[in-house]
Amino acid sequence: GNSVTQMEGPVTLSEEAFLTINCTYTATGYPSLFWYVQYPGEGLQLLLKATKADDKGSNKGFEATYRKETTSFHLEKGSVQVSDSAVYFCALSSSNTGKLIFGQGTTLQVKP
Amino acid sequence: GAVVSQHPSWVICKSGTSVKIECRSLDFQATTMFWYRQFPKQSLMLMATSNEGSKATYEQGVEKDKFLINHASLTLSTLTVTSAHPEDSSFYICSAPSAGTDTQYFGPGTRLTVL
């Protein structure tokens, strides 16, 4: 079945450091890929998405490229801020049902 | 952007009682809504798909008689946890897709604690 695997957390970085959170997936067909972010005490918010191979999603300085050859969708940011501290979820949707399959989430802690 | 609300945000109940959680799409209509369950430090697990005007579709392993879902209107879905037990304590989250897109909008979640 379809699945999403994220790197284990927590990830602790200093402000302005480079961030990479790895995400790989297993799916039949051509899924859409997403990164959602959950800030403390808030609901999940869509951070970025990509719907086909080689697409790059970007938002708020975050980027992720849909790599079909490596079945990956790694999240990157060149310079993190304390306000980026949150839990990040990689997810896929592989049908027109709208169902999302989530990775286990990665907690990011950015220290000043 | 689109807003999805949940009520209540947290609830504590005694074992054996039933609890109803509401999910509303505030500025858009949703013929489909999704209910997830999130355990501490774990991912979201899809429980069921709520369909306006028809029965909900449950994921494998989810007891449909225990987790009753009613999609009463195009802006409201309810999840009722019947005869709750401590193992039902969790964070319940709903989401709704915006029409014509594959973007889901999530509610803030409801923390259920069963004593």
* pLDDT tens column, A69-111: 999 999 999 999 999 999 999 999 977 777 899 999 999 999 9
| Burial state string for A34-54 with b = 16 or more CB within 10 A and e = fewer than 16 | bbbbbeeeebbebbbbbeeee
Question: Residue B30: closest CA among chain A residues belongs to which residue?
Answer: A98
pLDDT at B1 over 70: no
pLDDT interval class at A8 (50, 70, 90): confident
In this structure, are residues A100 and A32 in contact, taking their beta carbons and an 8 Å threshold? no
* % chain B with pLDDT above 70: 99
Q: Is A45–B107 a contact, with Cβ atoms under 8 angstroms apart?
A: no
pLDDT at A9 over 90: no
Q: Is the peptide bond before A40 cis (omega within 30 degrees of 0)?
A: no
Tell me whether A29 touches chain B (CB under 8 Å): no
Q: Is the peptide bond before A10 cis (omega within 30 degrees of 0)?
A: yes
Give the CA dihedral B9, B55, B87, B106, nearest 10 degrees.
-30
pLDDT at B82 over 90: yes
pLDDT computed for residue A98 by the predictor: 78
